[in-house]
Amino acid sequence: MSRPFIRGQVAIDSMRDNGFLSAAHALAELIDNSIQAEADRVELVAFEVKKEASGDGRRATKRIDKIGVLDNGKGMTPETLHLALEFGASENRNDRLGIGKFGMGLPNSSISQCKHVEVWSWKSPSETYYTYLDIDEIKDGQLEQIPEPIKKEIPASIASAFGETLPKSGTFVLWSKIDRCQWKTGSSIYRHTQDIVGRAYRNFLKKDKVSIWFRAAELQGSIHVVGEEHKFLPNDPMYLMKNTSLPELPGEFKGESMFELCSDCDYEFKVPDENGTEQLVRITGSVLKRSVLEEIRKTTRSTIGHTEWGKHCAKNIGISVMRSGRELALVPEFIKSEAKDKGWARFYGIQIEFGPALDNIFGVTNNKQHVVNLRMMRPSEDYEREGFDSEQEYRSDLLANNDPKLRIYEIVSHIKEVESNLISRVGLYDLRGKAASEKAITGDSDVDIKPVNEAANEKYKKREQLHPTEAPSISKEELENELSGIGADNVEEKARTILDKQLQVWVEEIPMATTAFFDVSTKKGFTLLQINSKHVFNTKILSQVSDSQREALEICLAGWARMERECSSEKRLAQLEMARRDWGQLLDDYLEVDDES
């Protein structure tokens, strides 16, 4: 009796867990396909439906029903379209110079987010072919082979979102039965994809090789009506490009780049691939222009990290890994902890570039989100762990076995050298605002204590008299670790201020990769309250209110944090934490409703 190597009904669930970090990263795979198909325009569309009010006081809400990606590339023949939904069969995998890799992008990314994916492709308007995959049909045994493409037009209700005419050639991918996308509305899709897409394709966008657009279209009757439209802008973590998603610089620097290339931070060298053929690798470093620094300092009383430019830079900390002009990953693990703690890391950039021939050396994964071999490595620390008596013996073994680690050690050493050169420059900068610098000269604290921190601590002290809790015993090092762990800047100064002022609670506004609006942690009598600067409540509501109104709300959140601090039951504390997370998610859902709802 013959048996299959893989049972599709069972394997398909495992294949859905294919490591995509988010829907934004999955959509980037489809954009890759469009660029390889020579498209110069790609449109990402969130098809929304309105869920009517339930009569309990809640407003009607919009929810994503489908997500589509349309391009004006060269389109596919029926034969190529048939291959496109087969895992690993795409023709793009043979393009050793392109941005593709294993030819698994379309099916792999799609099933990571939805249960039903449809594809239309045409080389001329009269020859549109269609096929699909459906997870439920595969699991039920109804669908054992990819359906042969048939002639079929895009439904009029869907096509209405693209205006009167479709491109003369192109491809349209449509996701439905979406069950794994963490974002529920068109606005949230755009908000979470703009940074990732803008960064991944910054070179293509800047050189006008492709334009990428986002649309949110609501179903009204039998057609979809576009409610919002945005063009993706380049998001350059090197900050060498002009006219990007970075807010316009102040003063005479409008329209200029924020950083400049560091002259002693440019390395170009050859690395042998698996076959011994030498391939080019380039590492470059950039740093904040001193002239721009001085202009930004004029705009703030705090550190420049708290300005809109500093906050933008904070989202781009890490080594930008570029392959064929497309960013694979932003790797923050390489950045020295000292640079993060002192607020330097956001004001320099490091980029490494290589081609597909070095994929196996770097360990590029098939979803093009990770470079697993590129990590902090030191042969002087590794040789004993690998079972060798000396570093020289270890290196000789790597050389004899043509081990990729040998190349990675060389690359890592260059990255460290570049970062050291950058830190030596940024470390000389005064990152305080002008008023902050003048205040420091008089001997005051380096860190301004925000009114909310003063008010919250005053209330905590009064509360302690009635409901005493654990007295603060946290060390400066532990405080610095807590603050740096959430991505705060100026951690040394803040830790010193907290200890000098004997503060029991500290409120820190920080971008958080979650739908929670705020987070609370208490350690050794010290409570840290994090407020998510990226949460929709912050961006839509708090950004519009006065400072006093904002402080009033933050003090209320400090009251919640105090409630968690006083909680002595682990079970009750877990319930409070769950309620806090659920409320943040619900708040996110409610505020994603269009103002007209």
More confident residue, 244 or 587: 244
> Rounded to an integer, what distance in angstroms lies between the CA atom of residue 517 and that of residue 394?
49
pLDDT score at 53: 58
Contact of 517 with 584, CB cutoff 8 Å: yes
pLDDT score at 88: 64
Contact of 276 with 202, CB cutoff 8 Å: no
Contact of 243 with 254, CB cutoff 8 Å: no
What are the sequence ranges of the domains in the chain? 8-231, 251-426, 445-591
Give the C-alpha distances (Å, rounded to integers) separating 334 from 345, 351, 415, 441: 11, 12, 8, 34
> Rounded to an integer, what distance in angstroms lies between the CA atom of residue 464 and that of residue 451?
20
> Is the pLDDT score of 550 beyond 60?
yes
Residue pLDDT, tens place only, 333-369: 899 988 988 899 999 999 999 999 999 999 998 777 7
Average pLDDT over residues 131-153: 92
Pairing of strands 211-220, 41-51: parallel
Contact of 108 with 90, CB cutoff 8 Å: no
Q: Which two tokens stand for residue 31?
A: 């954009």
Residue pLDDT, tens place only, 436-453: 444 443 334 456 677 888
Confidence of residue 492 (pLDDT cuts 50, 70, 90): confident
Other CB atoms within 10 Å distance of the CB of residue 392: 11
Half-sphere exposure of 339 (CA within 13 A, CB side): 23
| H or E element in which residue 466 lies | helix 451-466
- Sign, CA dihedral 529-535-537-539, equals positive
Half-sphere exposure of 588 (CA within 13 A, CB side): 25
Those residues whose C-beta lies under 8 Å from the C-beta of residue 356, and which sit 6 or more positions away, are: 96, 97, 98, 101, 323, 324, 364
Give all strands of the β-sheet with 278-288 in edge-to-edge order.
259-272, 278-288, 348-354, 319-323, 326-331
> Is the pLDDT score of 174 beyond 50?
yes
Question: 208-212, 452-456, 515-519 — which one is most confidently predicted on average?
Answer: 208-212
Region of residue 199 (left: phi > 0; alpha: psi -120 to 50; beta: else): alpha
Tell me, rounded to whole angstroms, the distance of Cα 541 from its chain centroid: 23
pLDDT score at 448: 62
pLDDT score at 445: 46
pTM recorded for the entire structure: 0.74
> Rounded to an integer, what distance in angstroms lies between the CA atom of residue 77 and that of residue 151?
11
pLDDT score at 54: 56
pLDDT score at 8: 62
Report which DSSP code applies to 56: S
pLDDT score at 310: 94
Question: 281-295, 383-397, 481-495, 527-541 — which one is most confidently predicted on average?
Answer: 281-295
Domain 8-231 falls under CATH 3.30.565.10: yes
